[in-house]
Amino acid sequence: MKMTKFGYITLLVCMIISMHGVAQQKAELPMGEPRPYFKLIPYPRGFEKDSLNRLMNYLLEKPSKTWDRSDSINYVFALCSSENYDLAFTVFEKLKLTDFVNQDDFHVIQQLLLFKRRFVSRHDWLDAEAAKFPPSYEKIKLRKRITDVNNLINKREWSLEDSVVFPELKNPNWAKLKKGSPEYIQSIVTLANLFDDALRDETKYESSFNRALSLSFVEFGDFLKQHISLSDAYICYSIARYYDGYNNDISLKLRAIKTEINGHNFLLPSIREIFPKQRKGLFNFQKIMEKRRKERDSVQEIITPPLTLFVDETIEKKQALKGLWDETIIVVGLILILLGVIFFVKVKD
């Protein structure tokens, strides 16, 4: 069938429209939100696996009776890694610790004290960390505030409607700063980095319900949404829900910000890449210790031969004959004595 001139023109127009639709579709694919000034990176979660394995192997191979003070301190860390905080706290109290060389060790003990609701002691350990590491003073102030909120919530003195964790995040002057200006970078971005650092220390070893920490992430998310980026705010709201799944306001914030992100055709950031789950029960020190002991005992039974006495058979036979001869003499002697008694009695009659 021969195509007319009008047919060719129609086909050409359809092809142009189709190509334009494909190009438009490609152009409309969602992309990551531009974040040139601040961007949340993955949070560290839990104990470092390899170093913890080395520590546990060392403690398991060394008899507990020979442990020194350093070993006992490492035992506290091993128990904390398996979230056996009750036993860890018992050992910790006996050791009467007051200082560490490593800043991360302070954070482990602070998490232990938080779990045991020893808020005053946690304050003391935060002060000790600040004295030991002066550059961390500002972020430790924020962490002390989270500790105070935890204490207020524990005593049922915290009001979700009226109380604010961080008033400095709600300063109305921040809205006056032009995005990207030197003042913006000096104030807004610096503040965001400070809060991010403080929350990283608070979340590293915390894997359970924590309302104070959840509220902290909500306020940080509000700040990021208003002044920095939707994507980072979405991450903060998601972490907030992780620490308090009962707060319906967080779900509403997440729903609203998802709609806003989709409206800008931005990709939703992966929460699991930024805030991976902390694997619970990965290192149960007591169970591993018991298992290793059983394995060690079974190996010793296999490689250690039973105790065996090698006796010369000729000596054994001589000893047996000697015993038999001695018994014969005794029996003959008793018979002779009995006969003597009978003979004596008859002679007397």
Please indicate, yes or no, if residue 327 is contained in any of the structural domains.
Answer: no
Q: What is the pLDDT of residue 82?
A: 85
Q: How far apart are CA 232 and CA 250, in angstroms?
A: 15
For the chain, the domain total comes to 1
Beta-carbon contacts of 75 under 8 Å, excluding residues fewer than 6 positions away, are 59, 67, 91, 285
Residue at 214 is within a domain: yes
Whose tokens are 């290793």? That residue is 292
Q: Are the CB atoms for 233 and 269 separated by under 8 Å?
A: no
Give the Å distances, CA to CA, from 325 to 69, 312, 318, 319, 339.
66, 20, 10, 10, 21
Let me know if residue 38 belongs to a domain.
Answer: no
pLDDT at 52: 81
Task: Flag whether 194 is in a domain.
Answer: yes
User: Which DSSP string do the residues of 244-278 spell out, in sequence order?
Assistant: -TT-HHHHHHHHHHHHHHHHTTBPPP-HHHHSPPP
Spatial separation of the C-alpha atoms in residues 253 and 234, rounded to whole Å: 9
Structural domain contains residue 103: yes
State the pLDDT at residue 20. 47
Establish if 93 belongs to a structural domain: yes
The enclosing H or E element of 172 equals none
Contacts of 28 (CB under 8 A, 6+ apart): 265
Alpha-carbon distance 213 to 204, whole Å?
12
pLDDT computed for residue 130 by the predictor: 97
- Those residues of the chain that have pLDDT short of 50 are 1, 8, 13, 20-26, 281, 300-317, 319-321
- Taking the C-alpha atoms of residue 40 and residue 42, their distance in angstroms, rounded to an integer, is 7
In this predicted structure, what is the pLDDT of residue 210?
A: 97
Gap between the Cα atoms of 275 and 156, Å rounded: 29
Q: Could you tell me where the DSSP H helices lie in the chain?
A: 5-27, 49-61, 69-81, 85-95, 103-115, 119-132, 137-154, 182-184, 190-203, 211-227, 230-243, 248-263, 271-274, 285-303, 313-348
Range of the domain at 252: 49-157+171-281
Residues in the chain: 349
- CA separation for the pair 194, 168 (Å, rounded): 12
Q: 214 with 206: CB under 8 angstroms?
A: no
Residue-level pLDDT at 321: 47
pLDDT at 227: 97
Residues 285, 82 contacting (CB under 8 angstroms): yes
Question: Measured between alpha carbons, how far is 48 from 132 in angstroms, rounded to an integer?
Answer: 23
Residue type, 176: K
In a domain? residue 314: no
User: What's the pLDDT at 289?
Assistant: 64
pLDDT, tens digit (0-9, with 9 covering 90-100), for 290-339: 666 666 566 544 444 443 333 344 444 454 445 555 556 666 666 777 67
Pick the closest to residue 155 from 197, 119, 113 (CA basis). Answer: 119
Residue 324 resides in a domain: no
Can you say whether residue 269 is alpha, beta or left, with left for phi > 0 and alpha for psi between -120 and 50 degrees? beta
Rg (CA), the chain: 39
- Residue 265: which CATH number? 1.25.40
By three-state DSSP, how is residue 227 classified?
helix
